[in-house]
A and B are shown apart, each in its own frame.
Chain A
Amino acid sequence: MTDLALRPSQPAAAPQPKPRYTVADRAPRRLSDFLLRWETILVILLAAVIIGNTLLSPYFLDLYNLADTTYNFSEKAIIALGMALLILVREIDLSIAAIMALAALAIGSLAAHGVAPPLLILAGLGVGLLCGAVNGLLVTRTGVPSIVITIGTMSLFRGIAQVTLGDQALTTYPDSYLALGQSYFITMPPTPLSFLIFLVLAIVFGVVLHGTAIGRQLFAIGANPVAARFAGIRVDRLRFALFTLSGLLAGLAAVLLTARIGVVRPNIALGWELDVVTMVVLGGVAISGGVGTILGVVLAVFVLGLATFGLSLMNVPGIVINVLLGLLLILSIAAPIVIRRFFGRF
């Protein structure tokens, strides 16, 4: 429907007795549809980022540099997968960074008492799961919009972490735990554990969202929650599950982050929720629900991650990088809308 102007109009139908119509199985394939797909645009953007950075800095295309830069976005990207599903069904979870703080607090406190690494991981995941379930219960039971609920729990979870920890930092961790975040899980090609987990999860999420009945139900909820309920979809149950999943992923991110930086302060991961939402929105998941792909989110993660890396290689200060990324977000979202309006007006 975006290419009306590009298509030659059909010749007038001859007045002959014909079967009134036949219905094709598939939509006609058109180049303009493919070119205007969000994922295509992201691939072009990603190529531009890679080529630009390669030309500007000799250090960009270095396997170890690239591997190390994945550390900077993999934890956020893991949470973005869950956030993508939430935004797809017209929900949002702004408490993920606060959940991370609480999970990190649990990990740090237990580690200080000499608890073994497997239990530290379980504690992080468990706290995340629990916080996510709290969000899910509040949203499905009260009917209050999730943006309100999770702004509330954001303060609540972060507040608990701040009250408990005060101005201390938890800095004692077993070496085997720190190794999770500070060494390559695979040595050739060098791959940090967090990046590997992100890739595996992205494949799982993509397959579930685009290949299973549950994925289809999520799209239906996002497109029309009332009709979805009438169609027998257990909307609240799925919503609850998605919030719980989002909390679990935040717990996982907390495990990886504490292992990587080896210190827990109450302001850990502060402001990450907006970075995560940025990844999802740039990935083409419509904030109004019902539209989006995991591939888009993955591409957006790489665009944002590599652009940040390239800019920091050129010694652009962090605050300036934020300004540039903001511009990139607005431009890349506005451009296709403008192009579509230009070509496909009716």
Chain B
Amino acid sequence: MRVCSGFDAALIRPAGHLLPFTREKENTPLFHLNRPLMPSDPVLTLAGISKSFPGVRALSDVGFSLYPGQVTALIGENGAGKSTIVKTLTGIYLPDEGSLTVGQEAKHFSSPRDAWAAGIAAIHQETVMFDELTVAENIFTGHMPGGTLIDWAEARRRTAALLKRIDADFKPETKLKRLSVAQQHMVEIARALSHEAKVIIMDEPTAALSSHEIQELFRIVDQLKAEGHAILFISHKFDEIFRVSDRWVCLRDGEKVGEGLTRDVREPDLVRLMVGRPVDQIFPKRALTIGETVLEVEGLSNATEFEDIGFTLRRREILGFYGLVGAGRSEVMQCLFGMSRPTRGRVTLEGRPFVAKAPADAIAAGIAYVPEDRQHQGAVLPLGIRENTTLASLGAHVRYGFLSRNSERAATRMLGTRLAVKAAHWEQRLGELSGGNQQKVVIAKWLATKPKVVILDEPTKGIDVGSKAAVHDFIGELAEDGLAVILVSSELPEVMGLADRIIVMHEGQMVTAVTRGGPGWSAEAIVAAATGADHQAVAA
């Protein structure tokens, strides 16, 4: 931490000279907005912003304004250019064309520091902070109070004041790693406030939060609004957009396709704007004849995470696994896939006992697992689309002992086209694609192994409506093609829309299993079982 002190002086000056008030007044609202500003006075204006990457035009002539005391929702599919906008606003990307005006002043951000200095702060989907440092250190990294030596007492005092302002219930001395994701978001908000940010960008802040935590976040958003901050709110969830936003801006394929007041618009209109076509939000469940049993699991247990899991899975069947985060669903699936060994239990695949000592065994036996954590477990971001697509099925492309690039290219073209992967070329590095397209490539990798059983773990987590509908369609297609599908999801409409049966897990145990159309096939009953409410009722 102490190394930061050298930077502090440099950082604090540009931030300081913009600010008309002293830091002692942290408990008072920032812009004294008891008298509301004219809504026609934007705090930040983007005009004609364009940005290209090799082969992809990420933004083309995008312009909009943010107003003090208003929440603007930025909506669009994955790859529509939302992240590029955020990165442009926070000084990570330099736009090729266009202008950025803060207040009355034209700005040119060449580093994140410039953006901070201009009063723009971002709260990211996955927090980018320092786990091993305290809350106070995280908030004041880069602008610690004090001169050559850090004034720790002052840092703690200011942190406490900031935390009080947003009603946070943790201490400045707490290490960040001890906090929940929701609390870490609050630290990021406090950090933005410590910079006296006028514009706060929230990039999918609710993605990893529980519903209670989301309400808490909305309360803070309302408070920041009342204090006169301009907020850019990015989310895929329409209920949230309608709950918090005053205005909306919609992007599609890097272009602005509409903007307006939230109260004047309805959800289907926004969806149509985003995807450029109406999307059937209701899942078309395909009528399929379910085939013979493929996978049988009996009494599968491991030491800590799950106990006595048993089910059967048949061809052309989609079996849903629903439960809260931490219910042990992913652990069961990873155990089936050979990532961990069970302490007890038996697995039978197509009538033969099956033991997976490693994922390679599971793949060879015809089980594919699309992991939950795309960035770390699913995708090899530095490698290209082709190399990712064929990674789990390299054996199919070996000719006379060598890999055949032509054979790989053919497979990549076929699967990539089938999944509608959007890219400049098939050799493009996966890290350059949007999240939705990365996920499509990961799914392509698993389909290339020609599996009999496909396990999809939260396949639509953090991807937009358009890609989501495509993935849903695709899951239906897999079942139609005769595969047996396990769908692990925390989104109830998704599981209920797609699955033939749903197994509900709670704290490592199977609580109940319901069949489409049968008793207990209702959202209320399933949620009650997943939260343990049902469980306790039975016990009592």
Q: Are B54's CB and A1's CB within 8 A?
A: yes
Q: Are A230's CB and B369's CB within 8 A?
A: yes
Q: From A345, which residue of chain B is reached at the shortest CB distance?
A: B94
Q: Are B398's CB and A220's CB within 8 A?
A: no
B380 touches which one: A4, A9, A227 (CB < 8 A)? A227
Bound-state CA distance A10–B383 (Å) is 26
Which of B96, B358, B395, B398 counts the most chain A CB atoms within 10 A? B358
Q: Are A291's CB and B382's CB within 8 A?
A: yes
Smallest Cβ distance from A223 to chain B, in angstroms?
Answer: 4
Q: Are B60's CB and A231's CB within 8 A?
A: no
A28 touches which one: B55, B96, B359, B402 (CB < 8 A)? B55
Q: From B392, which residue of chain A is reached at the shortest CB distance?
A: A231
Q: Are B382's CB and A216's CB within 8 A?
A: no
- Say if the beta carbon of B57 comes within 8 Å of chain A: yes
Residues in A neighbouring B364, C-beta threshold 8 A: 232
Bound-state CA distance A291–B429 (Å) is 13
Q: Are B394's CB and A213's CB within 8 A?
A: yes
Interface string of B444-462 (1 = CB under 8 A from A): 0100010000000000000
- Say if the beta carbon of B362 comes within 8 Å of chain A: yes
Per the CB 8 Å criterion, the residue count for chain B at the interface is: 58
- Say if the beta carbon of A12 comes within 8 Å of chain B: yes
- Say if the beta carbon of B381 comes within 8 Å of chain A: yes
If A212-B403, A345-B94 touch, whether A233 touches B380 (CB-CB below 8 Å) is no
Smallest Cβ distance from B13 to chain A, in angstroms?
Answer: 25
Bound-state CA distance A26–B413 (Å) is 11
Bound-state CA distance A215–B363 (Å) is 20
- Say if the beta carbon of A229 comes within 8 Å of chain B: yes
Q: Are A223's CB and B383's CB within 8 A?
A: yes
Bound-state CA distance A100–B60 (Å) is 61
- Say if the beta carbon of A66 comes within 8 Å of chain B: no
Q: Are A224's CB and B425's CB within 8 A?
A: no
Residues in B neighbouring A211, C-beta threshold 8 A: 402-403
Q: Are B422's CB and A20's CB within 8 A?
A: yes
Q: Are A224's CB and B403's CB within 8 A?
A: no
Q: From B50, which residue of chain A is reached at the shortest CB distance?
A: A9
Interface string of A10-41 (1 = CB under 8 A from B): 10110000001101111110000000000000
- Say if the beta carbon of B377 comes within 8 Å of chain A: yes
If A23-B426, A24-B425 touch, whether A230 touches B382 (CB-CB below 8 Å) is no
Q: Are B381's CB and A230's CB within 8 A?
A: no
Q: Are B93's CB and A23's CB within 8 A?
A: no
Q: Are B52's CB and A10's CB within 8 A?
A: yes
Q: Are B432's CB and A230's CB within 8 A?
A: no
- Say if the beta carbon of B391 comes within 8 Å of chain A: yes
- Say if the beta carbon of A198 comes within 8 Å of chain B: no
* Residues of chain B at the chain A interface (Cβ within 8 Å): 50, 52-55, 57, 60-61, 93-94, 96-97, 253, 337, 339, 358-360, 362-364, 369, 371, 376-383, 387, 390-392, 394-395, 397-398, 401-403, 409, 413, 416-417, 421-429, 432, 445, 449
> Could you name 12 residue pairs across A and B whose Cβ atoms are closer than 8 Å?
A1-B429, A20-B422, A23-B413, A212-B401, A212-B402, A216-B391, A220-B383, A230-B337, A231-B445, A232-B359, A232-B392, A346-B93
Other than the given A1-B54, A23-B425, A219-B383, 12 more pairs (CB < 8 A) read A9-B96, A10-B57, A25-B409, A26-B427, A213-B397, A213-B398, A223-B380, A224-B379, A226-B377, A227-B379, A233-B360, A346-B94
